[in-house]
Structure formats: C-alpha cells, structure tokens
Amino acid sequence: MDNKRVLIYAGGILGIVILTLILSQFHIFNSSRSFMFIVLLTIIMVLFNEIQNARKDSDSIFLRTIPGLKAVEEAVGRSTEMGRPILYVPGIMDMNEVETVAGVIILGHVAQMTAQYETGLDVPVARSIVMQAARESCKEAYLSQGRPEMFNEDMVHYITDDQFAYAAGVNGIMQRDKPAACLYMGKFYAESLLFAETGNGIGAIQIAGTASQAQIPFFVTACDYTLMGEEYFAASAYLSRKPELIGGVKTQDTVKLMLIGLIIVCLVMRALFDLDIVSFNLLDMIG
Amino acid sequence: MSFSTILGAWIAAFLTLGIFSYLYKDNPFYKIAEHVFVGVSAAYWAATFYWTQIYPNLFGRLFAVDSPFASMYVIDKGHEYNGLYFFPLLLGIMMLLSVFKQINWMARWGIAYTVGIAAGLKAFGYLSSNVISQIKSTAVELFSGELSFFAMSGDSIFNNIVIFIGTISALMYFYFSREQSGAYGRFTRLGVYFLMISFGASFGFAVMGRISLLIGRFNDLILFSNPSYNYGTFWMLGLIIVVLGYWSFQNPERTEG
C-alpha cells in the first residue's frame, strides 16, 4: 500500500470510530456490536475507494498469476480440439451461498469461451434457482459473443436436490458423455471426491474451485488444478478484468493487511496485559 | 417377518450391489440404480419441500385460523396470519413464470431477492464467525509465564507461535497484489505448507468417515443375507453376477485406436 492510501484509510477508520462513539450514546445503537459496526464500515469504505481507483486505471493494477485460472482457457481449448463437451458443476447449494454465486459468475466467463470456440457446454444443477440463474448467465454470455443461436436452455438442466442422487446423476453423465474437461466451481460437500474420481477415471482435465475447507483436500488430490478459498473468489475478477471486480480483489488484499495488523496489535496488547503493563485486554473489546 | 419388509430388504440389497457394480464398469445395473435414485429423490424432495416448508410455513400463515380468508379455507399449523407472506408467494409464482418465454424475466426478481438477502446476512455471519474468531484465536498467549514452552497437544508457547506464524503466512499466500518471490515468496510458501498439512489431516478424517459409511452398507448386506430375509443379498449378488457375465459376453469391450 502506498502512503496516500495508508493516510486515507487511517483517516477513514478514525472517522468511523468517532461516528461509532457518537452513535453509541443513543439507545437505538447496540454498543455490544460496536466492533462489528466498525469493521463493516471499514470494509465498505475500502471497497468504494478501491473500486474508484480501479475505474480510473484498472490496467495498472497488478494481480499475480493464478495457474488454475490460466488452465480454464486451456481446458476449453482442449475440449474444442477433442470435439467433446465441457462439464460445469456449480456445486450443490442454492444461490444463498456466496460460493454458488461466484460459481455462476465464472460460468458466464466459461460460457463466453465455449461460445467463441463453438464447444459444447453441459451444466447439471441441484437447485431450481441456480438453474434459472445459470441459464440467464449462459444466455447473456452467448448473446455477448454474438452466438445466440448456439445457446440452448437444456445445456443447463436440473437433476435433483438430493446430494448423492445428484452425484450419481453427474457421474453417469461423465461416464456416458465423456467430457474433455470437468469444472467444479461452487460449494461442495461429500460428493466432491465422487466427482473428481470419476472425472479422473475418464481422463478429463479437471479444474476445481471452492471455499469448502473440508473438500479442498479431495480436489487437490484428484484434480489437475484447484482454486482454493480466495483464489476462487478472485477468479471472476481475473477472467473479466472488470474494474468493479478488480476493486473487490484489491479490497480483499487491503482488508487482509489490516487484519494481519490487527492480529499483531492484539497479540502485543495481550502480552502487555499478561505482563501487567496495561490493565485492559484488547481482545475483550472485540466482542 | 412381513412380505413388505423382506421385499424392501431385497430391493435395498439389489440397489446397493447395483451401485457397487460400478467398480467393474458402467453397466445396466448401475444405470438402473442411478436412475431410480435420481428419479425417486427428485420426487421425494419436491414432496418434502411442499409438505414441510410451503404448506405449513407459507400457506399455514396465509390461511391461518385468524386470517381474512378463514371463511374460505383454513390451514391450522399453529401460526398467526401474516400478510407479508404474500411476498414470497408472489416471488415463487414469478419463478414459475419462467416457463413462459415472454415473461421469463420475472424469475430474475426471485434470484435477485435470494442473492441480496443472502449477501446481507452472510456478511455479518462470516465476519462474526470467521474473521473475529480467527483474530481471537491467533492473538495467543505468549508471555503469561503460565505456559510450558513445549507440549505435544494443547496450549504451549511453541504451539502458539506455530498458530501465529501459520495464520499469518497462510493469509499472505492469498495476497494477490504482489508477486510471490524472494523472502516474501518463501514466507508464502510456508503458508502453503501449513495449508497442505491441514488439508492432509482433513483428508484422513474424511476418509475415516467414508469407511464408516461403507461399514454401514456392509452391515446391511450381511443382515439381508440372513435366512430371515430369505438370503436376499446372496440371491441379488448371484443375479447381478450372472447377468453381468452374460452382458459382458454379449458386449465385448471395444478397444480404441
């Protein structure tokens, strides 16, 4: 972070703390959640500032390379060469999960590539609202590439809400259609290894993206590339290079630095408290 | 034992063995089990959603005993009338209208509502459960004088230093605005090692859970092979082996290339 940014954020946080202190004098304000209020307003402030900066000049913003994202285009290219479809699994949860939302956004970018390369795309889903959202996303992608005639509503199709029945259905599709690339982007539970193992068995190039901590090990083991946690959330920004999304990634980075700083401050304050140098523990004030 | 219980056990044994037959290769028994599973679960979920969610929670409030429509129809599920529930009903109808091409844009309202509400709710939830609790767990005790320097498990100064360095280095790995090279790159590499160790532990834990699921299925198969179930497992196993053998003989595997 440059000095100008540090000054802006320090000033902003000071302002937010003062605002919180003023609001806490009123009965309508829940003082026990003051820290959460400060953190939320700080994140919003950083987000607005970073988006504004990205809108001014997004090309100059550096984002390091994520190997798994480069592989997405490679996977589409491989499918095109082999004349086989791409299987895209947007997880098993509904649109109220942030991972599913990210999965549907990335699906839009993948659909743009399949429209460009005239490659088949198959998206089996486990939730009705996800089906509707995924269809909208694909339709828009094919329209944006000037290939509306290639879009077919049935490329996004519902299987079932049940976790393992959905896994059985998707595995069946993999076995019979033999997709050249399998992309798993969303929230997964125990079915993750079933997908990844079957995909591995049919020789498909596999790219997974999820923030489900318990499932990342399975994807790491069985897939060619895995986008872990925040890499996955940053994927849409990398693929689209839209200023709003790049601003979001920069916000994540800035907030991470702030959190590391806060952890160090809390650690030092706790040590001072344990050594009886100060009389209060900062951790108690966090909530 | 009743006929229906034995029939259920035979069907369970057949479907379990049908799914296991996938270990040989994709075959008609696996396809039967898969399609029955998918079809039954889709219907089951639709019925379950209606009778456990929509009927009691939505219609139960719109047609409650004290509702203005009580003279027409009453659903008594212990709820009071709440007119606000017409809003989710309307959104649900708008979702269903997506089947009509000219007005399928209406479905977007339902999606927007779901995503918007979820974003607001989860923002607070994640901050509270993930971020704040992570800060509290990482700001560990180092200088109280009460901890031993090393312990195999539980709190110790060494373990607390590992927690602190592991958290910071893993966080830095997910910092995208800087190239991971030099000393900084080595520090983030340390974060990846921490992540991989935790993934390994998680992997082992999950595999143990899967083994217990497998044991559960085997327990059922062993139970259904008892004389009280007329040796259901053995009959189904024999049937699958014979038919699979015949099917393989009729459809010899073609080699490519």
Q: At what angle do helices A230-240 and A98-117 cross, to 10 degrees?
A: 40
With CA atoms as reference, the chain A residue closest to B36 would be A165
Gap between the Cα atoms of B230 and B216, Å rounded: 20
Interface membership of A257 toward B (CB under 8 Å): yes
Identify the pLDDT of residue B143: 76
Whether A158 shows a pLDDT value over 50: the answer reads yes
Say if domain A67-240 classifies as CATH 3.40.50.
yes
ipTM above 0.90, yes or no: no
Confidence label for B257 from pLDDT (cuts 50, 70 and 90): very low
Q: Pick from A161, A260, A274: which is nearest to B171 by CB?
A: A260
Q: Residue B256's pLDDT is what?
A: 44
Rounded Cα distance between A259 and B239, Å, is 62
Q: What pLDDT, on the 0 to 100 scale, is given for residue B253?
A: 66
Which residues in chain A have their CB less than 8 angstroms from residue B210's CB? 190
Mean pLDDT of chain A: 92
Flag whether residue B116 sits within 8 Å of chain A, measured between CB atoms: no
Question: Considering the domain boundaries, does residue B125 fall inside one?
Answer: no
% pLDDT > 70, chain A:
99
Calculate what percentage of chain B has a pLDDT beyond 70.
98
Which residues in chain A touch residue B110, judged by CB atoms under 8 angstroms apart?
129, 132
Establish if B244 belongs to a structural domain: yes
- What residues contact residue A159 under an 8 Å CB cut-off, 6+ apart? A124, A125, A126, A165, A166, A169, A170, B38, B42
In chain B, DSSP finds a helix count (H) and a strand count (E) of 9, 0
Of B118, B136, B171, the CB nearest to A95: B118
A159 in contact with B at a CB cutoff of 8 Å?
A: yes
Mean pLDDT within B32-50:
92
DSSP bridge pairs for A158: A125
Q: pTM (2 decimals)?
A: 0.87
Q: Is residue B166 part of a domain?
A: no
Residues of A in contact with B171 (CB under 8 A): 256, 259-260
* Domain enclosing residue B5, as ranges: 1-81+225-257
Question: What's the total number of domains in chain B?
Answer: 1
Q: Bridge-partner residues for A184, per DSSP?
A: A89, A208
CB neighbours of residue A188 within 10 Å: 30
Chain B residues inside the 8 Å CB shell of A257: 175
Q: Confirm whether B152 is domain-assigned.
A: no
Taking residues B229-252, what's their average pLDDT? 92
Per-residue CA distances from B246 to A223, B217, B241, B250 (Å): 35, 27, 9, 6
The Cα-based distances of A201 to A51, A160, A180, A219, B237 in angstroms read 43, 24, 12, 14, 25
pLDDT at B255: 46
The residues of chain A that CATH labels 3.40.50 are: 67-240
What gap in Å lies between CA A122 and CA B191, rounded to an integer? 36
How far B201 CA sits from the closest chain A CA (Å)? 9
pLDDT-derived band at B54, boundaries 50, 70, 90: very high
pLDDT at B254: 53
Calculate mean pLDDT across residues B111-117. Answer: 89
